[in-house]
Amino acid sequence: CRDAEMQRCRDAEMQRCRDADADAEMQMQMQMQR
């Protein structure tokens, strides 16, 4: 396993995590408005 490969993998993982967090936040806000 190459370092560059690991770095790219970690970046993609963090991006997915961040997207999931944003999704959860949007869901919560939508429910609060009701």
CA 18 – CA 11 distance, rounded (Å) = 10
Q: What is the pLDDT of residues 1-34, one digit of tens each?
A: 578 888 998 999 899 979 999 999 999 998 887 7
CA 15 – CA 1 distance, rounded (Å) = 21
Delimit the domains of the chain by residue range.
Answer: 1-34
User: pTM score, two decimals?
Assistant: 0.56
Q: What is the largest CA-CA distance in the chain?
A: 49
